[in-house]
A and B are shown apart, each in its own frame.
Chain A
Amino acid sequence: MPASAAGPADPVPDRDPGLQPERTRLAWRRTTLACTVVAVLAARQAIRGGGTAAASVAVAVVALVWLGFLAVAHRRVRALDTVRPRALPLSGAVATAVCTVLLALCAVAVMR
C-alpha cells in the first residue's frame, strides 16, 4: 500500500472503489481469448487441405494478426494499471477492429 492511504478527503485514492480499471482489463483478457479461439479455427481451416505453400502463408498471416491483437491488448492492459487510466486511444480501437476484419478476410481467402 502506498503512503496515500489517508482519509476520504484524499483526491486520488489507492484504487477505484468500483474496480473499473480491473473490469476493463478483464474485458480485454476475454476479448483476447475470443480472438485466440478464432485464430486457432482459422489456422485449422488453412491446414485442412494439406500443407501447401498457400496454407503456410495463410497460417503465417493468421499468426501475425493474432500477435498484433495480443500487442494491442497488452499495451492497453499495461496502460490500465493505474488508478485513473486515460481513455482508450483511437488507434487502439481501430487496430482491434482491423484485426477482427482481417481474420474474417482470412476465412474468406481459405474457404473452399
Chain B
Amino acid sequence: MTGFARSLRLWFAPGRIGDEGETPDYRFSLANERTFLAWIRTALALVGGGFAVDQFLPDLRWGVRIGLSVALLAAGALCALRAVNHWVRCELAMRRGEDLPVSGFPTLLSLAVGLVAVVMLIIVLLGRAG
C-alpha cells in the first residue's frame, strides 16, 4: 500500500517521474503506453456495458438492472484509475532498472466479469422460462 501512496503522490507532481533514475529505451515507454491504452479500452468497454445493461434490458427488475449497471460502471472507473497507477509504477520501475510490478488486478477483474456474465446468463434463461 505504501507503493500506492508513493505513486499517488507522483500523480500530482509529474515532474518527479523524470527525476527518478534514467530515461529507458523509448520503445519500452511506448509499450507501457500501449498497455495503458489497452486497459483504458477495457475500462471504456465496461462503462459501455453498464450503459448497455441500462438501455437494452428494460424488462429486468429495476433493482437488478441498476445493480448490474452500477457494478459494471464502478468496475470501469476502477479499471481506469488502476490503469494510470500501473502505468506510473511500470514507468518508475523501468527508470530505476527494477523488476516490473506484479498485480492481482487482472485476476480480480476477470473473476468479476465472469460473475457478471453468469448472472446475466441466469437472468436471460429465467426470463425465457418464465
Contacts and interface: CB of A to CB of B under 8 A. Distances in A.
Interface of A: 16, 18, 20-21, 23-24, 27-28, 30-31, 34-35, 37-38, 41-42, 44-45, 48, 84-91, 93-94, 96-97, 100-101, 103-105, 107-108, 111
Contact of B73 (A24, A90, A107): A107
Interface residues of B, number: 42
Interface in B16-41: 17, 23, 26-27, 29-34, 36-38, 40-41
A89 B43 CA distance: 20
Interface hub of B29, B33, B41, B87 (most chain A Cβ within 10 A): B33
B108 to A, nearest CB: 18
Contacts of B69: 107, 111
Interface of B: 10-11, 14, 17, 23, 26-27, 29-34, 36-38, 40-41, 43-45, 47-48, 50-52, 54-55, 66, 69-70, 73-74, 76-77, 80-81, 83-84, 87-88, 91
B51 A42 contact: yes
A30 B27 CA distance: 19
A16 B23 CA distance: 18
Contact of A90 (B14, B29, B37, B51): B14
A72 to B, nearest CB: 11
Contact of B11 (A48, A94, A105): A94
Nearest to A23: B34
Contacts of B29: 86-88
B50 A104 contact: yes
A103 B73 CA distance: 9
A44 B80 CA distance: 23
Considering the complex of A and B, which 8 residue pairs feature the smallest CB-CB distances, nearest first? A90-B14, A87-B29, A100-B80, A41-B51, A97-B80, A34-B44, A104-B77, A27-B37
